[in-house]
Amino acid sequence: MRMRPTLTWTPTEDPPPSTTDLRPVADALGAGGVLVLSGAGISTESGIPDYRGEGGSLSRHTPMLYQDFTGSAQARRRYWARSHLGWRAFGRARPNAGHRAVAAFGRHGLLSGTITQNVDGLHQAAGSDGVVELHGSLDRVVCLGCGALSRRRELARRLEEANPDFAPVAAGINPDGDADLGDDQVGDFRVVPCADCGGILKPDVVFFGEAVSPRRVEHCRELVRAAESVLVLGSSLTVMSGLRFVRQAAQSGKRVLIINRDATRGDRHAAARVDLPLGAALTTVADRLGIPLGDETASVA
């Protein structure tokens, strides 16, 4: 029997109390060697909703599962119709104060690395270098047949040519790039094959139910080993892909700090969880450290 991936998490015990005190975060960053692990919550101020927070997309939307995408032509049609429309909204998203703060901390040598669970490219657009995209990027497309990589812009052009009259109005956008469309709006949307071999195209992202590559996981584990502390930004840590690095850090005696509005699955491993809006919190920390935030200079698409 096929197991469904973990989409939600319910605490089985009372979570540790949260705080609004940013001094532990400022102290950790001031000491340097901080590894940032970011989730969907850092992008909400850029207009991209998160999965599980208040009003999160999981309350109205079930993300595409890898097994469904690979096993059903209709599922792929539905996915690409929704994603094609959602990609336009992603292309208009701009980095917010949280992304700019992370980039500024990196420029001032306070970070040992940045791992993001997001696929929106906003850390890089804000100026962060060397970002590890744990779950890939919507900016790339991979062929499941020949493995060829291509740019999402090129696929968007081909899909527009194949579907010149496709212009439904979406009810919203989701953190995985999907637009909220009904099956009647998807209609007979035409999916295009790989231009090289005619194979199935998939965004170069890790779907729910799909494993992160072992090489990428080991790279992230190396970053945890090299860090002095780990700072989690805007992640509920519900899925193991991010939680395992928090557990690794805590088991090796490294300090874990979390900034997230809701309780997370990693709270019991953390020295503190700060319950404040991310943009304002990180701007305050930057001010305390005397670090100016730069203006965003690039869009995602």
Positions marked active-site: 135
Name every residue whose Cβ is closer than 8 Å to that of residue 219 and which is 6 or more positions away in sequence. 132
- 41 is known to lie in a ligand binding site: yes
- 194 is known to lie in a ligand binding site: yes
- 234 is known to lie in a ligand binding site: yes
- 235 is known to lie in a ligand binding site: yes
Name every residue whose Cβ is closer than 8 Å to that of residue 264 and which is 6 or more positions away in sequence. 232, 235, 236, 237, 238, 258, 270, 273
Cα–Cα distance, 243 to 249 (Å, whole number) = 10
Q: From the CA atom positions of the chain, what is the Rg in Å? A: 19
- 43 is known to lie in a ligand binding site: yes
> Within a 10 A sphere around the Cβ of 147, how many other Cβ atoms?
11
Cα–Cα distance, 249 to 285 (Å, whole number) = 22
Cα–Cα distance, 222 to 224 (Å, whole number) = 5
- 205 is known to lie in a ligand binding site: no
6 Ramachandran zone, left/alpha/beta (phi>0; psi -120 to 50): beta
User: Whose structure tokens read 């100026």?
Assistant: 127
- 74 is known to lie in a ligand binding site: no
- 117 is known to lie in a ligand binding site: yes
- 228 is known to lie in a ligand binding site: no
Residue 142 phi/psi, 5-degree rounding, is -125, 145
Q: Supply the DSSP symbol for 49.
A: -
- 231 is known to lie in a ligand binding site: no
- 278 is known to lie in a ligand binding site: yes
- 172 is known to lie in a ligand binding site: no
- 48 is known to lie in a ligand binding site: yes
- 44 is known to lie in a ligand binding site: yes
Residue 119, amino acid: V
Name every residue whose Cβ is closer than 8 Å to that of residue 72 and which is 6 or more positions away in sequence. none
Residue 300, amino acid: V
Annotated binding site: 39-59, 117-120, 143, 146, 194, 197, 234-236, 278
Annotated binding site for NAD(+): 39-59, 117-120, 234-236, 278
Annotated binding site for Zn(2+): 143, 146, 194, 197
